[in-house]
């Protein structure tokens, strides 16, 4: 394959969405290049602590930004001093005074830093036997939001040149376009320096598009065969007859050897690299609903699957999905009732589309879906009153609270994915068990000689993780930081109420001590809760020292500290 051919093939593959642009492996999978460590209690505790610390930094930056914003554009020295006494860091104040944009600019910078605080690197560990102690610490780390990878071998370096191939894009109306896929993979491997990597995506979409069920023996065999075909094309290895048979292809002899890793990974933000890719890693299809010009329709893989399995039913399936939003609206509130209350066809169409996209009733009837013109002209209501309050709008149009609650219950009880139900009617299975995903991942790992990382979500839990590790697979677990519990929320409510009470008390006028009070009978007055007064900074022996005067509201001296 000549250099000009490589360039032309890759350009076409990128245009068609078969391949992503070249990047580095670390951008696709954060654990790339990280050395595995022994899985010990201390290591899991350290991972949890690092994740917690990163979250705390972000929270602290946001809290400091809020304190700065409360000071306004040009705060007085007394206001700044009060903020310092309340806990605003002195270094932040000095930075805000130094910045040309002052306090607002510093607050903006802190907010940007909080949003962009990098997550700590994943904890990458060697596979090990789990006991109750390790399991408990693993759960604790995940509840802090940690990302953990457990593998039997190290992944290639983070700076390894890499591309993603979407196998679903290699399936056309006539089936697998094997020559197109093989040529594109070979061109991608040749375009990268020795030691490049090709990451496989779209496995489940490809299996569905061929017309096979993800969890069936035939579907698992086809997934493994697709991986073997990619490896053969990338490295020059042979494509065995047994795997070729699963795809209805001819076996291929080994050719010129090339150094290229072929992996199946749960790519971070896959759609940023391949917007039309319909499945990631070894995961089953997340659903078969897609949108074309904001109208609900079937995904490409589902359309091809029905075209293979029941072609005569495809037009009907597409019509049913396109009308699903209107049917939901009719069942929930009644199209005729809405028309009688002033909703135009345009308004009903907008709401139907919103419901078809999965929006709840409250959002579907909000200002941002209906638009100001519909609300003000057709419904004769003030749009600004219904920014995010669809229930309020329906109430204003004569629907009772019971009507609205019944409508919400009707929508909540609808099929989670109308398209999935329609696909099932056409003989297309959607979704799969954890056991089926492990079986497919294990078959792909066997075809590739390893290099398969299975993402274990909340649906599988630790049982799925242990089953995958028992099959020799690498696993990725991504935790989510849990919100504060009820006891913490209740305590915070009490603390905030107490703080409000103390602030009100501090703002109340306090009588100054009488100058004529007799000795021994002076009235004791509580010091102010908020320190106001004069601050003097000095440097003593290389240390910063501050002299503060705490004053009463009338200016009389209360304390020096």
Which residue has 């102690």 as its token pair?
Answer: 133
The whole-model pTM stands at 0.72
Give residue 517's pLDDT: 47
Query: Which secondary-structure segment (H or E) carries 524?
Result: none
> Left if phi > 0, otherwise alpha if psi is -120 to 50, otherwise beta: which for 395?
alpha
Give residue 325's pLDDT: 54
4-21: pLDDT as tens digits: 888 999 999 999 999 999
CA 107 to chain centre: 26
Give residue 2's pLDDT: 80
Which parts of the chain have pLDDT scores under 70?
Answer: 291-296, 322-331, 356-358, 384-389, 410-419, 458-460, 484, 506-561
Vertex 225 angle, CA 222 and 226, to 5°: 85
> Left if phi > 0, otherwise alpha if psi is -120 to 50, otherwise beta: which for 17?
left
Residue whose C-alpha is closest to residue 247's, from 233, 257, 266, 260: 233
Quick one: 468 exposed, middle or buried, by C-beta within 10 A (0-12, 13-18, 19+)? buried
């Amino acid at each position: 394959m000549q250099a000009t051919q490589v360039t032309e093939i890759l350009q076409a593959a990128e245009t068609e969405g078969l391949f992503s642009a070249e990047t580095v492996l670390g951008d696709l999978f954060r654990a790339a290049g990280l050395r595995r460590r022994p899985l010990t209690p201390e290591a899991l505790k350290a991972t949890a602590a690092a994740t917690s610390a990163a979250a705390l930094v972000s929270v602290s930056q946001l809290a400091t930004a809020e304190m700065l914003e409360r000071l306004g554009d040009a705060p007085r020295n007394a206001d700044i001093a009060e903020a310092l006494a309340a806990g605003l860091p002195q270094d932040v104040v000095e930075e805000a005074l130094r910045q040309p944009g002052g306090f607002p600019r510093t607050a903006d910078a802190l907010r940007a830093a909080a949003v962009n605080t990098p997550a700590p690197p994943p904890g990458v560990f060697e596979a090990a036997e789990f006991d109750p102690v390790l399991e408990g610490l693993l759960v604790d780390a995940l509840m802090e939001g940690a990302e953990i990878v457990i593998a039997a071998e190290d992944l290639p370096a983070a700076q390894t040149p890499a591309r993603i191939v979407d196998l679903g894009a290699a399936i056309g109306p006539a089936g697998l376009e094997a020559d197109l896929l093989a040529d594109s993979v070979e061109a991608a491997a040749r375009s990268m320096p020795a030691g490049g990597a090709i990451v496989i995506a779209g496995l489940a979409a490809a299996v569905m598009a061929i017309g096979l069920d993800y969890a069936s023996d035939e579907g698992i065999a086809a997934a493994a065969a697709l991986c073997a075909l990619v490896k053969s094309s990338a490295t020059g290895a042979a494509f065995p007859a047994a795997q070729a048979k699963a795809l209805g292809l001819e076996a291929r002899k080994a050719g010129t050897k090339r150094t290229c890793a072929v992996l199946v990974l749960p790519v971070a933000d896959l759609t940023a690299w391949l917007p039309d890719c319909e499945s990631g890693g070894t995961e089953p299809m997340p659903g078969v609903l897609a949108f074309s010009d904001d109208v609900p329709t079937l995904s490409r893989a589902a359309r091809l699957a029905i075209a293979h399995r029941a072609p005569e039913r495809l037009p009907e399936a597409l019509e049913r999905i396109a009308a699903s939003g209107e049917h939901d609206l009719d069942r929930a509130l009644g199209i005729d009732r809405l028309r009688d209350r002033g909703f135009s066809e345009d308004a009903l169409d907008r709401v139907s589309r919103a419901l078809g996209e999965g929006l709840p009733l409250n959002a579907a009837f909000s200002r941002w879906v209906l638009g100001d013109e519909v609300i003000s002209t057709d419904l004769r209501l003030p749009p600004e009153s219904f920014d995010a309050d669809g229930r309020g709008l329906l109430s204003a149009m004569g629907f009772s609270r019971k009507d609205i609650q019944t409508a919400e219950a009707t929508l909540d009880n609808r099929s989670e994915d109308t398209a999935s139900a329609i696909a099932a009617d056409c003989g297309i299975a959607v979704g799969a068990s954890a056991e089926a995903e492990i079986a497919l991942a294990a078959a792909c790992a066997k075809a590739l000689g390893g290099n398969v990382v299975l993402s274990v979500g909340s649906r599988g839990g630790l049982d799925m993780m242990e089953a995958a590790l028992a099959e020799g697979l690498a696993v990725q677990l991504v935790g989510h930081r849990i919100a504060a519990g009820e006891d913490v929320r209740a305590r915070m409510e009490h603390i905030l109420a107490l703080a409000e009470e103390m602030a009100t008390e501090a703002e109340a006028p306090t009588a100054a001590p009488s100058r004529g009070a007799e000795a021994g009978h002076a009235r004791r007055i509580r010091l102010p809760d908020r320190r106001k007064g004069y601050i003097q900074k000095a440097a003593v022996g290389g240390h910063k020292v501050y002299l503060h005067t705490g004053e009463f509201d009338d200016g009389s001296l209360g304390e020096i500290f």
